[in-house]
Amino acid sequence: MTDVQRRPYHLPQRRVARDPAARRRSLIADTAIRLTAPEPEEGLLETLRRLWRQRRIVLGCAVVMGAAAAAIAMSLPSRYVAEARVLVGIQGPRVFNIEAAVNDVSPDAERVQNEGFILQSRILAKQVIDRLKLQDNPEFNPPPKQPAGWTRVLDPARYLPADWMAWIDAQRPKQPPKPVEPDVARAQTENRTIDILLAQVNVSTLGRSHVLSVKAESLSPGTAASIANVLAEVYLDSQRQEKIASMGRVEKFLMTRVNELREQVRRSDQAVEDYRREHGLYKSGSSGSVTTQQLSELNTQLLQAQTAKVEAEAKLREAQELSRGGLGRESVPDVLKSPLIASLKQAQADAERKAAELSAAYGERHPLMRSARADAGNIAARVNAEIAKTIDGLAREARQAAARYEALNQNFERLKRTMGTVNNASIQLEALERDAAVTRGLLEAMLQRAKQTIGIEDFQQANAKLVSAASPPEAPAYPPKMLIAFLGTLAGLLTGAAIALLREGSDRTFRRADQIVAATGLPVMSVVPHLPGRTPATVHVLRQPVSAYSEALRRLQIGLELSETAESPKTVLFSSATPAEGKSVMVASLGRLLASNGKRVLLIDCDWRCPRLHQTFRCSNRVGLVSVLGEKDTALTDAIHHDSLSGVDVMPAGNWNPRQSHLISSDRMRHMLAALEPDYDFILLDTPPVLVAAEVLALSRLVNKVVFVVRWGHTRREAVMEALKQIIEAQGDVAGVVLSRVVAKQYSRYAYGMSMHEYARPEMARIT
The pLDDT-based confidence of 572 (bands split at 50, 70, 90) is very high
**How many C-beta atoms lie closer than 10 Å to residue 426's C-beta?**
20
Q: Taking a C-beta distance cutoff of 8 angstroms, is the pair 730, 698 a contact?
A: yes
The pLDDT-based confidence of 719 (bands split at 50, 70, 90) is very high
What integer pLDDT is reported at residue 473 of this predicted model? 86
The pLDDT-based confidence of 145 (bands split at 50, 70, 90) is low
Would 765 be classed as within a structural domain? no
Residue 556 and residue 703 in one domain: yes
Q: What angle do CA 648, 706, 699 make, to 5 degrees?
A: 90
The answer on pLDDT for 668 being more than 80 is: yes
Residue 495 and residue 638 in one domain: no
Q: How far is CA 757 from CA 326, 525, 716, in A?
A: 182, 12, 23
Residue 485 and residue 598 in one domain: no
Percent of the chain clearing pLDDT 90 (strictly above):
15
Q: How many residues does the chain have?
A: 768
3-state secondary structure of 626: helix
Residue 679 and residue 546 in one domain: yes
Write down which residue in 460, 488, 503 finishes a domain: 503
Question: Exposure string (b/e) for 603-629, b if CB count within 10 Å is 16 or more?
Answer: bbbbbbeebbbbebbebebebbbbbbb
Which long-range contacts does 234-242 make (Cβ < 8 Å, 24+ apart)? 234/124, 234/127, 234/128, 234/131, 235/86, 235/118, 235/119, 235/124, 235/464, 236/86, 236/462, 236/464, 236/465, 236/466, 237/462, 238/123, 238/124, 238/127, 239/462, 239/463, 239/464, 240/460, 240/461, 240/462
Instruction: Specify whether the backbone of 623 is left (phi greater than 0), alpha (psi in -120 to 50) or beta.
Output: beta
Looking at per-residue confidence, does 33 or 321 come out higher?
A: 321
Residue 633 and residue 697 in one domain: yes
Mean pLDDT check: name the lowest of 95-99, 618-622, 652-656: 95-99
Which domain, by its residues, includes 598? 3-39+530-751
Can you tell me the distance from the alpha carbon of 651 to that of 686, in angstroms, rounded to the nearest whole number? 10
Residue 673 and residue 720 in one domain: yes
40 φ, ψ to 5°? Answer: -70, 150
Over residues 513-517, mean pLDDT: 87
The answer on pLDDT for 167 being more than 80 is: no
Residue 707 and residue 575 in one domain: yes
Q: In CATH, what number is assigned to the domain containing residue 696? A: 3.40.50.300
Residue 685 and residue 742 in one domain: yes
Mean pLDDT check: name the lowest of 84-98, 467-481, 644-658, 670-684: 84-98
The answer on pLDDT for 661 being more than 80 is: no
Can you tell me the distance from the alpha carbon of 658 to that of 218, in angstroms, rounded to the nearest whole number? 83
Considering only CA atoms, which of 519, 618, 545 is closest in space to residue 40? 519
Residue 551 and residue 677 in one domain: yes
Q: Could you report the per-residue pLDDT of 739-764, keeping only the tens digit for each?
A: 999 988 777 777 655 555 444 444 43
- 305 strand-pairing partners: none
Side chain identity, residue 476: P
What integer pLDDT is reported at residue 36 of this predicted model? 54
3-state secondary structure of 737: strand
Q: Could you report the per-residue pLDDT of 107-136, keeping only the tens digit for each?
A: 677 888 888 888 888 999 999 999 998 888
Can you tell me the distance from the alpha carbon of 212 to that of 141, in angstroms, rounded to the nearest whole number? 28
Residue 727 and residue 706 in one domain: yes
Which burial class, exposed, middle or buried, applies to 15 when counting CB atoms under 10 A from its CB (0-12, 13-18, 19+)? exposed
pTM of full prediction above 0.75: no
Strands 464-468 and 80-88, by their bridges, are: antiparallel
What integer pLDDT is reported at residue 337 of this predicted model? 66
Alpha helices in 120-173, H assignment, sequence order? 122-132, 149-154, 162-171
The structural domain count of the chain equals 2
Over residues 160-178, mean pLDDT: 70
What integer pLDDT is reported at residue 768 of this predicted model? 31
Q: How far is CA 496 from CA 68, 460, 502, 503, in A?
A: 15, 65, 10, 10
Would 253 be classed as within a structural domain? no
Write down which residue in 468, 503, 538 finishes a domain: 503
Residues 6+ apart with CB under 8 A from 52: 749
Mean pLDDT check: name the lowest of 9-18, 169-178, 307-316, 590-599: 9-18
Residue 33 and residue 59 in one domain: no
Q: Could you report the per-residue pLDDT of 33-55, keeping only the tens digit for each?
A: 555 555 555 678 878 877 877 78
Find the helix or strand (DSSP H, E) in which 415 lies: helix 367-453
Residue 553 and residue 653 in one domain: yes
What integer pLDDT is reported at residue 323 of this predicted model? 58
Side chain identity, residue 135: Q
Would 590 be classed as within a structural domain? yes
What integer pLDDT is reported at residue 153 of this predicted model? 61
Can you tell me the distance from the alpha carbon of 540 to that of 529, in angstroms, rounded to the nearest whole number? 12
